[in-house]
Amino acid sequence: MNAALRKQRLRAFIRQVWDLGNSAAADDYIAECYRIHHDPGDPWDGQSLDLAGYKDRVDRSRAAFPDQAFDIQGLFADGDHVVMTWLWSATHRGDLPGFPASGRTIRMSGATAYGYDADHRLTGHWQITDRLGVYQQLQANLSATR
Amino acid sequence: MNAALRKQRLRAFIRQVWDLGNSAAADDYIAECYRIHHDPGDPWDGQSLDLAGYKDRVDRSRAAFPDQAFDIQGLFADGDHVVMTWLWSATHRGDLPGFPASGRTIRMSGATAYGYDADHRLTGHWQITDRLGVYQQLQANLSATR
């Protein structure tokens, strides 16, 4: 029961907050304290965020990639966690340090283990993304436009 | 019941085959056909391996890192899958393309979704590793020894 509900809520959260950029909707999904346990390369790695901090993270993360979309590959529920495996794509529309907006499509893949509280809100995550793949695409686009 | 058994078998498999390098022990854990569904940067990404092919992958992958050890962070069982989140460390003892053996410790993290058959054997995986983190360490070690 909980597993199906939590998977459904995770799909809705990813769609509303991360794909469509409705960071205010995080109120319905994120606990008062959200812990980023492990997320190499993420600027918020290791931090605990309140709701305002979480929304700020969403807004800043999406700034360079406003049309981003997650393509969920698998959802795996066990105990108080749901793990999501995913692909992601976005048009590079905003500047990143060292990489001005290219207008090109960037693709990424990753896996994220989300923790839940008793109210089925997200309490944090442990995440790996294929950063090297993204870096190589940004680098190739930079070379192509020079 | 299946979930606990499969988690226990996964721990034993990682320890015997990947940590200790007993690739012959894969006979007990790997199905006749093992599919690497998604594993960016892995030389076998997208391939289907028979048992001999799987053992060859173990032997080749471990060659540069003979003392490698996985530190399992979480195991999440759902349906016919178990997802493992993990840290990894090893001494860089063998040459890699562009990176001669440095004798330094390399650290990595990743997440792997393993599929199981009815005999609790592994049928394949979907994996993400933090390749950029590894690349940055190899690069730093190369600069330090130049």
CB contact under 8 A, A83 and B113: yes
Tracing tokens 């993990």 back to the chain, one arrives at B86
Residue B129 touches partner A, C-beta closer than 8 Å:
yes
- How does pLDDT run across B88-120, given as a tens digit for each residue? 999 999 999 999 999 999 999 999 999 999 999
Q: Which amino acid is at B97?
A: P
Question: Which of B81, B85, B128 has its CB closest to that of A130?
Answer: B128
| A29 CA to centre of own chain | 14
Can you tell me the ipTM of this complex?
0.95
Looking at every residue in chain A, the average pLDDT score rounds to 97
The number of C-alpha atoms within 13 Å of B20 and in the hemisphere containing its C-beta is 11
Residue A14 CA to residue B125 CA, distance in Å, equals: 24
Residues of B with CB below 8 A from A139's CB?
A: none
For residue B108, give the chain A residue with the closest CA. Answer: A40
Whether residue A130 has pLDDT greater than 80: yes
Whether residue A92 has pLDDT greater than 90: yes
Q: How close A85 gets to chain B, by Cα (Å)?
A: 8
**Contacts for A84 with CB less than 8 Å, ≥ 6 apart:** A10, A14, A72, A74, A75, A76, A111, A112, A114
CB contact under 8 A, B85 and A113: yes
| A79 CA to centre of own chain | 22
Q: How close A111 gets to chain B, by Cα (Å)?
A: 6
Residues of A with CB below 8 A from B124's CB?
A: none
Q: How close B128 gets to chain A, by Cα (Å)?
A: 6
Residues of A with CB below 8 A from B81's CB?
A: 74, 76
Residue A129 CA to residue A42 CA, distance in Å, equals: 9
User: A17: closest CA among A56, A73, A49, A75?
Assistant: A56
Can you give the pLDDT of all 146 residues of chain B as single tens digits?
799 999 999 999 999 999 999 999 999 999 999 999 999 999 999 999 999 999 999 999 999 999 999 999 999 999 999 999 999 999 999 999 999 999 999 999 999 999 999 999 999 999 999 999 999 999 999 998 77
**CB-CB neighbours of B82 under 10 Å:** 25
List the Cα angle A26/A27/A32 in 5-degree steps: 105
B112 or A145, higher pLDDT:
B112
Task: Tell me chain A's radius of gyration from C-alpha atoms.
Answer: 15
